[in-house]
């Protein structure tokens, strides 16, 4: 077969570029066969909910395990107690919003879900800040 | 560009696609959030649903 001159190489690369770009960019897409059926918003919401409540649980456990040492920073217990009092309500609200979006994925439900996630993220930010900024942050 | 060159270019494209096909399929699979990863996230969400917020770490004590 006749060999192509090298001048065709850029054209060939351009032809194949879209095939590679889709798979090598950081923004991964969902396998449509999965339980989320390609719904990236729902997948990301579930990831955020699971990560958030794992972290909040870690925060209250950490405060509980180290309470005596942390007594010099009373705001930490106050913050942990705030999480303890509100965690169930936050969970119920965000899961309800998530389920509503899963049932009817319209703009209204997407916005409601985003707001519920923002509340959880805010609590999470506070918990993380307390764990990272307190003077005894090296506690287990 | 004459017809022969166009044909040669098309042939090269087809040959290239045949050789790169499996590689591209692998790369595409690597770029996907797999069925297993999705199931794991769903299982973690279900664990949050089932969370009872009980246990000493959840007690508000003076």
pTM: 0.72
* C-alpha torsion sign, points B15, B16, B19, B24: negative
Which ipTM did the prediction report?
A: 0.74
B8 touches chain A (CB under 8 A): yes
Helix, strand, or coil here: B43? helix
Percentage of residues in chain B having pLDDT higher than 90 = 45
pLDDT digits (tens, 9 = 90+) for A84-109: 999 999 999 999 999 999 999 999 99
Helix, strand, or coil here: A2? coil
Taking an 8 Å cut-off on Cβ atoms, the answer to whether A28 and B33 are in contact is: yes
Question: Judged by CB atoms within 8 Å, which residues 68-127 of A form the interface with B?
Answer: 81, 84-85, 87-88, 91, 95, 98
Q: Which of B32, B35, B60 sits opposite A29 (nearest CB)?
A: B32
Distances (CA, A) of A24 to A30, B16, B23, B30: 14, 19, 12, 8
Question: Judged by CB atoms within 8 Å, which residues 19-58 of A form the interface with B?
Answer: 19-20, 22-25, 28-31, 33-36, 43, 46-47, 49-50, 53-54, 57
pLDDT digits (tens, 9 = 90+) for A18-71: 444 443 434 789 999 999 999 999 999 999 999 999 999 999 999 999 999 999
Inter-helix orientation angle A107-133/A74-103, to 10°? 160
B4 touches chain A (CB under 8 A): yes
More confident residue, A9 or A115: A115
Taking an 8 Å cut-off on Cβ atoms, the answer to whether A1 and B49 are in contact is: no
The answer to whether residue A129 scores a pLDDT higher than 60 is yes
Å between B35 CA and nearest CA of chain A: 4
Q: Residue A19 in contact with residue A82, Cβ under 8 Å?
A: no
């Amino acid at each position: 077969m006749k060999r192509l001159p090298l001048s065709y190489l850029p054209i060939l690369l351009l032809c194949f570029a879209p095939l590679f770009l889709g798979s090598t960019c950081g923004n991964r897409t969902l396998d449509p066969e999965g339980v989320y059926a390609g719904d990236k918003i729902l997948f990301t919401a579930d990831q955020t909910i699971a990560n958030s409540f794992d972290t909040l649980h870690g925060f209250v456990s950490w405060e509980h395990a180290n309470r005596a040492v942390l007594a010099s920073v009373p705001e930490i217990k106050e913050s942990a107690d705030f999480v303890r009092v509100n965690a169930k309500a936050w969970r119920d609200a965000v899961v309800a919003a998530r389920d509503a979006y899963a049932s009817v994925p319209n703009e209204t439900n997407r916005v409601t879900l985003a707001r519920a996630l923002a509340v959880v993220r805010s609590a999470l930010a506070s918990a993380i800040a307390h764990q990272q900024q307190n003077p005894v942050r090296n506690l287990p | 560009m004459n017809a022969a060159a166009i044909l040669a270019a098309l042939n090269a494209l087809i040959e290239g696609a045949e050789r790169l096909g499996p590689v591209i399929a692998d790369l595409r699979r690597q770029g996907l959030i797999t069925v297993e990863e999705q199931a794991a996230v769903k299982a973690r969400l279900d664990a949050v649903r089932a969370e009872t917020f009980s246990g000493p770490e959840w007690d508000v004590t003076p």
